[in-house]
Amino acid sequence: RAIFTGFAMAILAALTFLVVDHAPAASFYPNQDAYSAVLGFVPQIVLASVLGYVTGQFLNSYVLVRMKARSAEPRLWARLASSTGVGEAADTLIFCAIASSAIGITTMGGFWNYFVVGFVYKCGVELLVMPLTVVVIRLLKNREPSYWE
């Protein structure tokens, strides 16, 4: 629920910024251009973020489940690393493709740099916290009943 609430609030904020940005400015307000420069790109960033996140998480879950079906319980580390790679690749590619123009990236070289650095960073963080992830997964599995038996 928290994730969906967060999405709803981000989308509501983006729509609010979009409406305010496109509404006529008050005659006495001289800063409409500054407002547009600071908040005008928010809807594009929110769209990129939501689409990237949803697609990436779906693919991450799908790969994790499919790999578990093939390998059963062993190789948790490989499943986590592989599913993260696929999910983060999709998330980062979608986000960068939609958001890059909003932050001033105009060349393919800049785009690919943005994508690669983001992807490597996200996967690197996941690999660094993977030992903790494995411990948490094992603790949860030991406390929950198995529905497969």
**What are the pLDDT digits (tens) for 23-51?**
888 889 898 888 888 888 899 999 999 99
DSSP annotation of 120: H
User: What is the model's pTM?
Assistant: 0.81
More confident call, 148 vs 101: 101
Long-range interactions of 88-91: CB distance < 8 A, separation 24+ = 88/56, 88/60, 88/119, 88/122, 88/123, 88/126, 89/56, 89/119, 90/52, 90/55, 90/56, 90/59, 91/52, 91/53, 91/55, 91/56, 91/57, 91/122
Domain spans in the chain, listed from the N-terminal domain onward: 1-40, 42-149
d(CA 124, CA 104): 26
